[in-house]
Structure 1
Amino acid sequence: MNHLIPLVFVISLCVGSNNAGLFFAKNQMYFKNSFTKNSDLLTVHCKSEKDDLGIHILHHFYIYDFKFGDELFGGTKFVCMLTHEGVGFKYSRTFTAYMQSPYFMRFGVKYFWDARDDGIYLADDTHTSKLRFGWNVTILQTY
């Protein structure tokens, strides 16, 4: 009986680590298109080592979100590329949108990424946004 409780706890961590919905809330990531012009589109492409979440195109003020669980022994990491093309230019940025702590697992944490004209913002739990990344700007050749 003394060994049963730790065994049940370890099994629940294993099951809950990647399929957190069974015992623990999953983490969630949000991306919002907050460009000034209504016609501006934002392209979001996120990947982890195990999953490629595909390309998502967001219209003005649209939001794309996904849920995920941390791995039991660490290593959950999502790298995202955000791009926006205009006439004669391209804004882009590739960044680590989430990296699991090597010391503990997170459950039910929400990350709010907001793409604006001057860069990419991250909002914390108090919904206070801070500029985290500027855009890489490429001038496109027009003929």
Structure 2
Amino acid sequence: MNKFFVLIVVIALSVGSNNASRIFPKNQVYILNTLGRSDDVLTVHCKSEKDDLGVHLVHYGDIYSFKFGDSFFGETKFVCTLSHGIGFKSSVTFTAYQEDPYFYIKFGALTLWDARPDGIYLTNDDHGTKFMYSW
């Protein structure tokens, strides 16, 4: 039992190191602006309990992305607010990433959120492309 605990601690510590990125690649969330007009800027504000990633302006055709590792205790969750339109009045807040609560740590998971004129679409390995939220 002691050897197992030591192994878990070593793995947990190595996940955060730079050399571990090849063995344990970071998860990535991408947010794409395909709102349809070149002058329709998307604001993106994502945060977790531990990290506020700030507000970013994403122009039509551009992508905002961020990388992170899952927590060892199943607590990783990023909530994002996307806004656009006159005065950024069209807005939606949603969970962009939620770690599996049963200690299934993901490495290298890719999630793509696509902001379109009718709402937000999710593309990932689990769902393909699926409409998720209206503005």
- What TM-score do you get using the length of structure 1 for normalisation? 0.82
Indicate whether 1:9 and 2:34 are aligned. Answer: no
Note the alpha carbon deviations across 1:90-126, whole angstroms, 9 max, x for none: 2100011111111111111000000000000001238
Bigger CA radius of gyration: 1
Structure 1 stretches lacking a partner, 5+ long: 136-143
Mark the CA change 1:126 to 1:95 in structure 2 (over 3 Å): closer, same or farther. Answer: closer
Note the alpha carbon deviations across 1:36-94, whole angstroms, 9 max, x for none: 1111000000000000000010011100101000100111100100000227x721000
Q: Is the 8 A contact 1:42 1:83 kept in 2?
A: yes
Q: Is the 8 A contact 2:15 2:21 kept in 1?
A: no
User: SS of 1:105's equivalent?
Assistant: coil
Aligned equivalents of 2:99 and 2:127: distance in 1?
Answer: 21
Aligned equivalents of 1:50 and 1:29: distance in 2?
Answer: 17
Aligned equivalents of 1:33 and 1:16: distance in 2?
Answer: 35
Match of 2:57 in 1: 57
Aligned equivalents of 1:3 and 1:130: distance in 2?
Answer: 45
Match of 1:28 in 2: 28
Q: C-alpha displacement at 1:23, in angstroms?
A: 3.5
Q: Is the 8 A contact 1:79 1:97 kept in 2?
A: yes
- For these two proteins, the number of residue pairs brought into alignment is 132
Aligned equivalents of 1:17 and 1:96: distance in 2?
Answer: 24
Runs ≥4 residues deviating over 6 A = none
Q: Is the 8 A contact 1:15 1:22 kept in 2?
A: no
Q: C-alpha displacement at 1:10, in angstroms?
A: 1.0
Map residues 83-102 of structure 1 onto 2, 5 A cutoff: 83-86=83-86, 90-102=89-101
- What TM-score do you get using the length of structure 2 for normalisation? 0.87
